Amino acid sequence: MHFGPHLLLAALEGLVTSAVLALTALGLSLVFGVMRVVNVAHGEFFMLGAVLAWAITTAIGGHPALGFLAALVIAPLIVGAIALVAERLVLRRLNYNPEATIVATIGMLYIIQQLALTFYGPEARPVEPPFSYRILLPWFGYSGYKLSIIAASALILIASWLVLTRTRIGLIMRATQYDSETAQAFGIPVGRVYGGVFALGAMLAAIAAVLIVPISQAHYLMGQDPLLLSFIVVIIGGLGSLRGTVVAAVLIGMSDGIVSMFFSPTLAKIIATLLVAMVLVFRPQGLFGTASR
């Protein structure tokens, strides 16, 4: 294949990766930004979203779009509820102690993974895309659904930005993030905000998973890659910075797409990790993060 179309394909693949990555990383970033909790179980919420999407689409049947839309609404809600319960039962009891919550979320990771293995099984199962349209380019075909993921992700990111900057909920979240003690003194129910943010973070991961599951598959081990990449994105972009998350996601997604296509996927991972190291050395707060107080 010639260089031009080759690059186009690489860019398209990179954009799809970026779109999903931005959503997943945003969830991780929000949870850390507001609660100072490093959620190692984030990838498992992603996996749960995909597995539930399979369960919901299988239960509903009929036209694939019907089941998919239902999954897009119901799966994140269920995942959010599970996250809320986990937050109430575990993280709150640890007083959100940073070290303790890392260990606790590692435990959650294993518990969720094993439950998925027990109840869902070891198979990778497909979910039918809501529509299958193959865009025929002169050099190759490309999935129309993949392009729609990019659009959907952009819409959700814009919505998140509006919520964070233009609504009262966003204001409360930002206040809690800035200084939770003062926020509490001003009557903000910090405990409930924490619960909500943790659930919201998990829901974002679940939405990303529902979007990607028709082009990938639901599998109980699928949470590992998005977790690692999300961490990379969050470190590069700067914790709690929405803009940074999006920019870093595009950077990592595109470099992954292009480098792994022209060279090797291993090199792409090496570059991403090297980028993390460089950012940590020269700008520890991340590209768009603010220095810690």
Which residues of this chain interact with other proteins, rule CB under 8 A?
1, 5-6, 9-10, 13, 17, 64, 94, 97, 100, 117, 121-124, 126, 128-129, 132, 134, 136, 140-143, 215-217, 219, 221-222, 225, 257, 260-261, 265-266
Residue among 10 and 38 whose Cβ is closer to other proteins: 10
Q: How far is the CB of 220 from other proteins (least distance, A)?
A: 8
- In the three-class reduction of DSSP (H, G, I as helix; E, B as strand; rest coil), residue 136 is classed as strand
Give the C-alpha separation, 13 to 133, whole Å: 16
Q: How far is the CB of 211 from other proteins (least distance, A)?
A: 14
Residue among 104 and 172 whose Cβ is closer to other proteins: 104
Half-sphere exposure of 45 (CA within 13 A, CB side): 37
Evaluated on CA atoms 26, 156, 189, 166, the torsion sign reads positive
Q: How far is the CB of 269 from other proteins (least distance, A)?
A: 9
Kindly state the tokens that stand for 144: 């129309």
Residue among 87 and 256 whose Cβ is closer to other proteins: 256
Q: How far is the CB of 214 from other proteins (least distance, A)?
A: 8
Name the nearest CA neighbour of 84 among 222, 206, 220, 229. 206
Using CA atoms, how far residue 209 sits from 73, 173, 187, 262, in Å, is: 12, 24, 36, 27
Cβ proximity of 229 and 252 under 8 Å: yes
Q: How far is the CB of 105 from other proteins (least distance, A)?
A: 16
Residue among 105 and 176 whose Cβ is closer to other proteins: 105
Residue among 184 and 217 whose Cβ is closer to other proteins: 217
Give the C-alpha separation, 228 to 234, whole Å: 10
Taking residue 56's Cβ as centre, other Cβ atoms within 10 Å add up to 21
